[in-house]
Amino acid sequence: MTCTQSTSVKRRRHIHSRCFVNIFHILRGAMNLTAKSHSVPLSDGNSVPLMGLGTYGDPRTTPKGTAYESVKLAIDVGYRHFDGALVYFNEHEVGQAIREKIADGTVKREDIYYCGKLWCTYHPPAMVRPALEKTLKTLQLDYVDLYIIELPIAFKPGDVFYPKDENGKYIYHDADLCATWEALEACKDAGLVKSLGVSNFNRRQLELILKKPGLKHRPVSNQVECHPYFTQPKLLEYCRQNGIVIVGYSPLGTSRDASWVNLKCPPMLEDEVLVDIGRKYNKNSAQVALRFNVQRGVVVIPKSFTGQRIDENFQIFDFSLTDEEMKAIEGLNKNIRFVELLMWSDHPEYPFHDDY
């Protein structure tokens, strides 16, 4: 797909670029990120908490009620940002936990930041709003704060999330990302979502949206894998130049699930550089890895259903890494992608063939 761009659009893009380069350069050097001020601005005037809780759990093995209990605990700890998806099969639990903490006066709705996702079977424009409304109905909330395209690849449209043919091969669909984006813009205009973003998009796919003629709402974020072994320097800089916040999933590496994780990758949290830096601050390697990302303006959404880890992961706003320590952690980059999604690598829009 090709896109043309008017002079006025180019001028607006230049203004966005200058503004957000300044914001991110200030943030990158900031040492005053505290639990009370741990948010970053978005290009649409909203803001997103730097620390969030990922809520994915394999529905085949995760006991019912796990997400519910974890979200309630996380709110008590201080989390306000929750990352979920219809395809996680637990949005009803997440929504119940949020509503109960609102009802008991712990938080107000405007204190909570919820990110939902458009799954690969709902890319056709006519299916976008119904998919979002399904998430809202499941959560029993009036709006979500951020709604993102979960992957740039599209599957056969419908409610079968992983459609396959008689030979067990995934059934793909030829979707127009720009048309999908226009349907999302209509959802924002209708008040169903505050901000729009994407996930697992490479530079080329981001540019499809950014250069789309008549673009009304820019993507504010790109959720991608990001951690000390995969620091994403090129994509991070490109997004900074375009006012797009990186949200890092698997910021602690990831689980050792052979069904979708590259087990050849070394366990990151055992790295001596992270361990040694942690000793200096009386922190563990996970806290150091999380602090590294938030200190350079990357939002992190570590997933945990363990109370102690939920609490520990949040305790990263009472210390700062030095410039030397930041450089040492940046030097750990091995371009290791734990989440490769190789089962979809033959899709025309598989995002990870490109350099970034």
Percentage of residues in the chain having pLDDT higher than 70 = 86
Identify the bridge partners of residue 246 per DSSP, sorted by sequence position. Answer: 222
Q: 224: helix, coil or strand?
A: strand
* pLDDT(267) > 90: no
* pLDDT(338) > 80: yes
Task: Identify the pLDDT of residue 99.
Answer: 99
In a domain, 309, yes or no: yes
- DSSP structural state of residue 5: -
Instruction: Read off the CATH number of the domain in which 319 is found.
Output: 3.20.20.100
Type of residue found at 297: G
CA dist list (Å): 336 to 225, 265, 301: 10, 7, 19
CA dist list (Å): 219 to 26, 72, 115: 21, 30, 13
The token pair at 171 is 């059934």
pLDDT band for position 260 (50/70/90)?
A: low
Average pLDDT over residues 177-195: 99
- 74-112 pLDDT tens trace: 999 999 999 999 999 999 999 999 999 999 999 999 999
Strands (E), 200-343: 221-225, 245-249, 299-300
* Enzyme catalytic residues: 88
Task: Identify the pLDDT of residue 248.
Answer: 98
More confident residue, 22 or 284: 284
Task: Identify the pLDDT of residue 256.
Answer: 58
* pLDDT(15) > 80: no
Any idea how long the chain is?
Answer: 356
In a domain, 37, yes or no: no
Average pLDDT over residues 255-269: 70
Strands 221-225 and 193-199: parallel
In a domain, 85, yes or no: yes
Q: What are phi and psi of 45, to 5 degrees?
A: 95, -10
Strands (E), the chain: 39-41, 47-49, 52-54, 81-83, 113-118, 144-149, 193-199, 221-225, 245-249, 299-300
State the total domains in the chain.
1
Task: Identify the pLDDT of residue 124.
Answer: 99
In a domain, 33, yes or no: no
The token pair at 297 is 């303006």
Question: How far is 248 from 32, CA to CA, in rounded Å?
Answer: 21
Question: How far is 197 from 217, CA to CA, in rounded Å?
Answer: 10
In a domain, 22, yes or no: no
In a domain, 38, yes or no: no
In a domain, 356, yes or no: no
Task: Identify the pLDDT of residue 180.
Answer: 99
More confident residue, 228 or 37: 228
Question: How far is 192 from 256, CA to CA, in rounded Å?
Answer: 36
Domain, as residue range, for 323 = 47-351
Identify the bridge partners of residue 144 per DSSP, sorted by sequence position. Answer: 193
User: Quick count: other Cβ atoms within 10 Å of Cβ 35?
Assistant: 15
In a domain, 214, yes or no: yes
* Residues 110 and 143: beta-carbon distance below 8 Å: no
More confident residue, 257 or 164: 164
- 113-138 pLDDT tens trace: 999 999 999 999 999 999 999 999 99
* CA-angle at 280, arms to 278 and 284, nearest 5°: 20
Average pLDDT, the chain: 91
What dihedral angle (degrees, nearest 10) is formed by the CA atoms of 334, 340, 346, 349?
-90
Task: Identify the pLDDT of residue 33.
Answer: 53
Question: How far is 202 from 352, CA to CA, in rounded Å?
Answer: 7
- What is the pTM (predicted TM-score) of this model? 0.90
